A and B are shown apart, each in its own frame.
Chain A
Amino acid sequence: MGAGPHLDEHARFEAFFPGSAADFLRLLGSWSIPFALLDAGDTILFWNRGATKFYGLVEDDVLGRPWAEVVSEPAFVPAPPAPGVRTRRYETRHRSAAGEELSVMVTRTELPSGDGTEGAFVLVTDLAEAKGLERKLGRRVAQLSIIREIGECLQSAMGLERILRTILVGATASQGLRFNRAFLLLVDERHGMLRGRDAIGPADAEEARRIWDRLAAGKRTLRDLVDEYEPQTDEEPKAQTIARQLSARLDDDTQFVIAALRADGTTRVVDGRGSGDPATERITETLGVDAFVAVPLRAEGRPVGLLLADNAITRRAITDEDVAILELLGFQAAQALQRARLTEELARQVESLEAATRELRRNQERLVRSERLSAVGEMAARVAHEIRNPLVAIGGFARSLLERPEGRDPATRESLEIIVNEVRRLETIVKEVLDFSVPAPPRIGSVALKQLASEALELLRWELNEAGVATRVEEAEGSPPAAADPDQLFQAIINLLRNAVHAMPQGGDLVVRLRGVPHGVEMEVADTGVGMPPEVLSRAAEAFYTTKTHGSGLGLTIASQIARDHAGELRIESRVGEGTTVTLRLPAATEATTDA
């Protein structure tokens, strides 16, 4: 405290308020909220800093003057306070020293008359400022609750389309951010594009009024709006046309949307036409509005899209608050989009996993079937072989007897003929088995050998890995597809590959080569295995001939039979210690060959 008026002031306090009350009042003296202390005749006794600032009048100007005159308060009509109530509050208008009209709330408290002195304590609240603050606060709260509601909608939104719709409805609805129009562009990395995906906004003021009237009619929640929002089907809304026009290549920095996408924060344009920047002027032309705002959407540091909004219809200025709230929406939108992208990615991976499982199961069934077929075939062939010679002997002697004098007796002759006929029947069956005559004729179609070979290798992957065999498929340029029954051919290839693997117990290289030959195609299966001496080679394709301790000895026999059934052939070349090469020649598929 200094000297001079302050001392007087102190003395006044002491006179008016005993003890600590004076200290309290001094504290209030430094407040920014205007207040004054009046005596019983409403003369100003005290005038604080806040009042000085608010009315533009210093203490010296006002002390000792009537309150109503100083603040230009209209005739004060005090409502009679209820007994025991000393405080009244009323709204009124004051005037500052500069003549400015002030809308205020006066809080007037009659002070107790302990020593007989009466007076009043008057607190003034600037209503203009308070109302503004309150409005602001209310709006902020409303906006935050909108953001929360949009956030909840986004959280529960399944699928990209629903998320896009929620973002756009949120940005434009009266229950939302109240922009007139919103455009959403998404990054399409596969095609190197920033694509205008969707937009919401009326084409003109009339449509805007229609929509807003309808929306205002019911108290709908944002979720209801998202549910009800139906994109027009007959004609593309203008906003969506604009959205598509906004699309740009990601590497095209001359585009406003790309610059905005890569910008650190929000890009605001206030005077697009007069900006002097060609890119900004171009997009201003496209949007047809001078002021707009572009919020980049980022997820995990990567740009995923751009949210553009404007007030094309009402031309309402875009405020800092509008931008701040749009940024909040943009943040949530980016999260939701990222989530949708990951979900989609996950779905794709699940799908490919399922496809792989299906393929695996199919291969498994194929393998089991081919194993079983070859086991059954082996058994049948062995049995047939064993009964063949006895049948020849039985039937042969029966015929022999018919030619001898003993066979001339009619009863004997009949018996012998029965034997002959029954043996002939059995021989036919045995012959079919031994010839490996395929019951059904081959279903010839066009077969891509490379794919079939790859599938067969895949099927034997475990065996190949176990044996340490490296494989590769080499296809000469212009190798035609084969005209073949894919199932039978698959069996033949499996047999050849198996032989090759078995020839390389210590590992080695297995190469499948494909090449076109005149009117045909050849598949060569070459191994770097033990090879075969000539005497083994000459019998290699013989049924049941095998040098292995396992296997049926039918592999090559079946393969060569299949080759013959296809009007092809099987050639074997081998050198001991160097390896074996089996060449399967098949007719090439022609245009007449249907796809297998």
Chain B
Amino acid sequence: MKYISAFFRFWWDFIVGDDWRVAAGLAVALALTWVLEHHGVSAWWLLPLAVGLLLAESVRREARASS
């Protein structure tokens, strides 16, 4: 049991890390890009924009919490 929980903890830390909101935001942005592209809408701009906003919001939140 200890090894199974350590295994899942490793992958959680590896993929999700300290801020689950960033991982959730990325999942939504990727899904939205897929949906738009499969409905004929060019969505190349969506991922860079989403990543920029998620990154800015995440570091802002962390900085505010630690100051």
| A and B held together in a complex | no
Name A's B-contacting residues (CB within 8 A). none
Name B's A-contacting residues (CB within 8 A). none
